[in-house]
């Protein structure tokens, strides 16, 4: 069911606690932490602008990295406050605590339309433990809780589920931000009744990570295209050899069950008929690949590893994508981080963008497919790119996300 959003309530003069996803990549440069990619900060601007224009007093809570309950200086959110201030064009106060007197005082100083970012909530072990007393402190005197952090919504933590429980118990309001609303619309509502044909493209490392998504989408999709290392487990199920490719031998029966279900439901289910292969050599615990070439056979020879889909498969996948009404894509077709093995992923990315230009709705289900599209410079040519990784997958599996569940229904 659709969730109430910030547009459904009156925020004038209200005290708001907003959970945002500012888990941005940072690196040390000349002794100071610098933000490498501010996409996640930019993604919250529509929600923040709408709230500040409504005159709300907005306290922002977020996490960065995995400090595991310790104050790790390199994981401070202070640089995010500075960057957010530049992007939104107004001062953003920063408090180096997220709970306690300093945080309470900083929140009390906020004027209507003001913004305050609290320090990393994961500096406290109580955050991930969803400790009720910590959640109560974090909630402060907020009258409204806004969750715009889809990427953290699959975790029942104090700043996602805990504060919502506090607000709900004292008659406050819990609503979604505009980014969260778009995530729920595209990964949820749009896929419930997709424009047909509905083509699902899945790749990445493991069948086990995505089998529940495959199973659920087999009820809805017209075609499923499988690439990445997970294709090799399906190859094994079909009786082909996979050489040294990354496979999950204990998941062959799971792959077979998916193939059976596809056949029963009349879902077209394609796995690569050719592959790019390479010879792996282990050097200091890491794999290097040499002698890469196209293997124009369903079977992969003994001493080589499948590292990408081959040109014939890419062409077959792209022609299916060209005819799609709705496309959902999650996971690369090969080890795209190495440009020798990025051809299949980039061909699929291009085909998805061309289909979008021709009227298809394209939804990118987060994680590495988003990275691949951005690497190909095509990030702005799809209908929607999810900001969630694990959260997107769990949502696509049809699971309730604790951070979404706690928000009021429309
Ligand atoms: P996931 O997080 O499950 O979407 O997996 C993404 C990862 O899968 C990327 O880091 C890819 O390098 C990796 N991957 C894709 N294809 C292969 C392959 N054929 N062999 C090994 N790893 C792969």
Ligand 1 pocket check for 402: Cβ under 6 Å: no
Residue 285's pLDDT is what?
82
d(CA 98, ligand 1 centre) in Å? 37
The residue contributing the CA closest to ligand 1 atom 11 is 335
* Model pLDDT, residue 408: 94
Ordered by start, the domain boundaries in the chain are: 6-180, 193-396
Positions marked active-site:
40, 206, 367, 390
The reply to whether ligand 1 has any atom less than 6 angstroms from the CB of 209 is yes
Atom of ligand 1 nearest to the CA of 210: 3
Average pLDDT per consecutive 10 residues, the chain (410 residues; last block may be shorter): 94 97 93 91 96 98 97 97 98 98 98 98 98 98 97 95 97 97 94 96 92 95 97 97 96 97 98 97 87 96 97 98 98 96 97 98 90 90 92 92 94
The residue among 56, 39, 7, 40 whose CA lies nearest residue 176 is 7
Query: Using a 6 Å cutoff on CB, does residue 228 contact ligand 1?
Result: yes
Question: Does the C-beta of 310 come closer than 6 Å to ligand 1?
Answer: no
Mutation pick for ligand 1 pocket among 227, 228, 310 (CB with most ligand atoms within 8 Å): 228
- Ligand 1, residues 335, 366, 369: which to mutate, most atoms within 8 A of Cβ? 335
Q: Is 365 in the pocket of ligand 1 (CB under 6 A)?
A: no
CATH number of the domain located at residue range(s) 193-396 in this protein: 3.40.50.1260
CA of 246 relative to ligand 1 center, distance in Å: 9
332 within ligand 1 shell (Cβ under 6 A)? yes
Query: Is CATH 3.20.20.70 the right assignment for the domain spanning 6-180?
Result: no
Residue 380 Cα to ligand 1 midpoint, Å, equals 23
Residue-level pLDDT at 199: 98
CA 341/CA 343 separation, integer angstroms: 6
- State in Å: Cα 248 to ligand 1 middle: 13
Nearest Cα residue to atom 18 of ligand 1: 229
Please enumerate, as own/partner, the contacts of 292-296 that have beta carbons within 8 Å and a separation of 24 or more.
292/340, 292/341
Same fold, 6-180 and 193-396: yes
């Amino acid at each position: 069911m659709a969730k109430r959003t910030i547009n459904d309530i009156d925020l004038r003069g209200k005290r708001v606690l907003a959970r945002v996803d500012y888990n941005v990549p940072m690196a040390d440069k000349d002794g100071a932490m610098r933000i490498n990619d501010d996409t996640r900060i930019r993604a919250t601007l529509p929600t923040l602008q709408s709230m500040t224009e409504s005159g709300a007093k907005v306290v922002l809570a977020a996490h960065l990295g995995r400090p595991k309950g310790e104050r790790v200086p390199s994981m401070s959110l202070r640089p995010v406050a500075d960057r957010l201030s530049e992007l939104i064009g107004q001062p953003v106060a920063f408090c180096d605590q997220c709970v306690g007197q300093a945080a309470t005082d900083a929140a009390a100083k906020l004027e209507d339309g003001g913004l305050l970012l609290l320090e990393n909530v994961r500096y406290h072990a109580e955050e991930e433990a969803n400790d009720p007393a910590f959640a109560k402190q974090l909630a402060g005197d907020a009258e409204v809780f806004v969750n715009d952090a889809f990427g953290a919504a699959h975790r029942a933590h104090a700043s996602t589920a805990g504060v919502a429980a506090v607000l709900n118990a004292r008659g406050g309001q819990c609503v979604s931000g505009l980014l969260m609303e778009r995530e729920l619309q595209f990964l949820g509502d749009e896929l419930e009744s997709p424009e047909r044909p509905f083509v699902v493209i899945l790749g990445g490392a493991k069948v086990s990570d995505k089998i529940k998504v495959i199973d659920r989408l087999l009820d809805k999709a017209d075609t499923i295209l499988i690439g990445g290392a997970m294709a090799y487990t399906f190859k094994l199920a079909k009786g082909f050899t996979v050489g040294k490719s990354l496979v999950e031998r204990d998941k062959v029966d799971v792959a077979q069950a998916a193939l059976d279900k596809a056949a029963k439901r009349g879902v077209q289910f394609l796995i690569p008929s050719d592959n790019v292969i390479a010879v792996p050599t282990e050097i200091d615990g890491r794999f290097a690949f040499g002698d890469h070439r196209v293997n124009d056979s369903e079977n992969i020879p003994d001493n080589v590893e499948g590292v990408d889909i081959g040109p014939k498969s890419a062409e077959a996948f792209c022609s299916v994508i060209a005819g799609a009404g709705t496309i959902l894509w999650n996971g690369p077709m090969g080890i795209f981080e190495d440009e020798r093995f990025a051809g299949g992923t980039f061909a699929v990315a291009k085909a998805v963008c061309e289909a979008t230009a021709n009227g298809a709705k394209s939804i990118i289900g987060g994680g590495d497919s988003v990275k691949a599209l951005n690497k190909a410079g095509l990030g702005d040519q799809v209908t929607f790119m999810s900001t969630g990784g694990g959260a997107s997958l769990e949502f696509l599996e049809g699971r309730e996300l604790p951070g979404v569940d706690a928000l009021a229904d429309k």
